[in-house]
Amino acid sequence: MVAEELGVVVEASYEGGFGIVVGSNVDIEDIPIGSYILVSSGRYDYLCLVADVGYKMPIDESLFRYLSGEYSDMVRRYISRRIVNYFVRAIPVGRAGPEGVDKSDTIPSYGSKALIPSQELLSRFYGRFDWRVNYPLGEPKVIGKVEYSIPINIRRMIDLNFGIFGKSGSGKTFLGNLIVAYTMLYNKLARDSDDYIEARFLIFDMHNEYSLDVLDDARRRVAGGVYKLFPDDFVVYTPDSRFASEFRMNLLPIPLYDISSSLLVYVLEPLGVTRAFLDNLSGFENKLRKFFREKSPFGDAGYWVLGLILSKNNIKKFVELGMEGGSHFIEKNYISQRELGNLVDAIEQDIADMGQGALQTFKANRRRLSRLLDMPVSFKRIYKGVMDTVAENLVSRDGRSVIISMGGYEKNLPVYMAIANLIGEALWSRLNQPDMEEVEETNKIIIMLEEAHKFLGRGVSEYSPFGRIAREMRKKGVVVAPIDQKPYELDPDVLSMIWTYIVFALTDDRDIDASLTGIDRPSLYRNIVASLRRGEALVYGYGVSFPVVLKVHDYSRMYRELGDMARGGGEPSIFDDVPG
């Protein structure tokens, strides 16, 4: 059992934190990294997080060479209890005194006592949850046990960009579902608040764990995704026709009919086409639009992208896709393989007019472009404005939140990137239309973006629609929430725009440093991030009062009761013993 008093402060600096010598009656193994310590100087109470623990041997360890058996054990126990200096390095996160609670800009006097903080002390710093604006995020990491839940202020967190970082399997998806569920409850329960602001989500659901079920590491269902808690508040789209039919989702193929070359770039870049091809794409578009309008059996310039894809090697595949019953690929009547073969020859002759260099580039990229036929693309006219429909759902007064469930394409990064960027561009365009110029901040659009470094990475975010949205759409109520395993690969400018960080376990030094971009004295927290266990997170920034290490509440355990609450029931009973 750990004593209430842990030791005394023997060293302190603002930059380096506090050095505490641990008392002889305290077992050093009871003090985990990231747990809380209270340093009391008599004048102030400093709330601290443990950044490091260790001990120093003040005598020559060679003594043990000459001892053996029971004498060795006896001497070792004596040295351990009486001579070894055990120490803790602690980071002050806040200070409480007669004037209230605030950040610390002082250090405690020499000999100040180090104690285990009480539940009352923790609640003084972090407040309590109320199931309106403040929601229970997790249990603080403490020495021993305390019945207290750290609240997160949903209203503040969704006001500005926030980020969720951590290795695969660390708990990001559980936390993401919990945050969305709390925000949807906020929409229902806090409408009478003075600063209420309605939140809508655009969730890019790579692994179908927001739209269908949250899974464990063995791919077993542990809870329903947040859509199942709030089915009336979401519209779900998917590029997977099987998912659309089986789970009654809205089909969202990649719309290629009449697409512009400037938008087509988002579809082609992930396929690895060459820079020379992309540089010529606008010229190819002009040439092929005229060809398909005047010379092709399609008689419609809107099919111009077919001219990029078709080759002698994939004509059979094209015919099969067009003949499939209920196909979403194309609405043109059957065209024979011979006609298509002649079409390929005629297209190449037309492209040759642009010069041999353009023709060579055109032919050299055919194999990469043929991968489009294995992707959920459509040349049907009815899907031409589907991305605009998604954007309108987010901005219109009668709209709803949107989930993009990737279905069977969950591991297909080119499909994910194409759909995400096309939706991002549609949203960007919609927000820049004249009727949106005088938008007041009466609602929020929160974009939860998995694999965020693909869209907001170094050298990418400047041109990505999400990079533009993150930089320029805050005044129109748009919040970008990157979710990523590799925060180092995000553009530093993007990281600097994040106001609330939720950091799960990371091991790469560069990722750890990137995840601590927004915290004071980041070097002191490196050990904490590296030592986090599964489900534990360092949370800091605008959404919480002070930096905190906590065990995030188990979304799967709360799932049923959150559903009851969403339907107008009472508060989850699992918090009956936790003061609100």
Domain ranges for the chain, please list them. Answer: 5-117, 150-255+382-571, 267-368
Name the DSSP class of 355. Answer: -
Task: Tell which phi-psi region holds residue 117, choosing left (phi > 0), alpha (psi between -120 and 50) or beta.
Answer: beta
Name the DSSP class of 490. Answer: B
Using CA atoms, how far residue 76 sits from 28, 55, 67, 73, 79, in Å, is 16, 14, 10, 5, 5
SS (H, E, C) 384-412: CCHHHHHHHHHHCCCCCEEEEECHHHCCC
Which stretches within 401-525 are classed as H helix? 413-431, 453-456, 465-472, 492-496, 509-515
Burial of 397 (0-12, 13-18, 19+ CB in 10 A): exposed
Name the DSSP class of 142. Answer: -
The answer to whether 6 touches 37, Cβ cutoff 8 Å, is: yes
Using CA atoms, how far residue 494 sits from 240, 458, 506, 517, 527, in Å, is 31, 9, 19, 11, 24
Q: Is 310 helix (H, G, I), strand (E, B) or coil?
A: coil
Question: Six-digit token pair at 243?
Answer: 């998912």
Question: Six-digit token pair at 320?
Answer: 């099969």
On the CB side of 83, how many CA atoms lie within 13 Å of its CA? 11
Per residue in 330-380, pLDDT (tens digit) is 876 667 788 888 899 999 999 999 999 999 999 999 889 999 999 999 999
Q: Is 19 helix (H, G, I), strand (E, B) or coil?
A: strand
The answer to whether 326 touches 242, Cβ cutoff 8 Å, is: no
> What pTM, to 2 d.p., does this model score?
0.91
Residue type, 161: N
* pLDDT reported for residue 1: 34
Rounded to the nearest 10 degrees, the angle between the axes of helix 356-364 and helix 275-294 is: 100
**Other CB atoms closer than 10 Å to residue 226's CB: what's the count?**
32
CATH of domain 150-255+382-571: 3.40.50.300
Question: Six-digit token pair at 292?
Answer: 């398909």
Q: Is 205 helix (H, G, I), strand (E, B) or coil?
A: strand
Residue from 450, 518, 515 nearest 482 by CA: 450
Straight-line distance from the first to the last Cα atom of the chain, in angstroms, rounded to the nearest whole number = 28
Which of the residues in the chain have pLDDT under 50? 1-3
Helix (H) or strand (E) holding 50, with range, is strand 45-56
The Cα–Cα gap between 287 and 257 comes to 16
* pLDDT reported for residue 72: 59
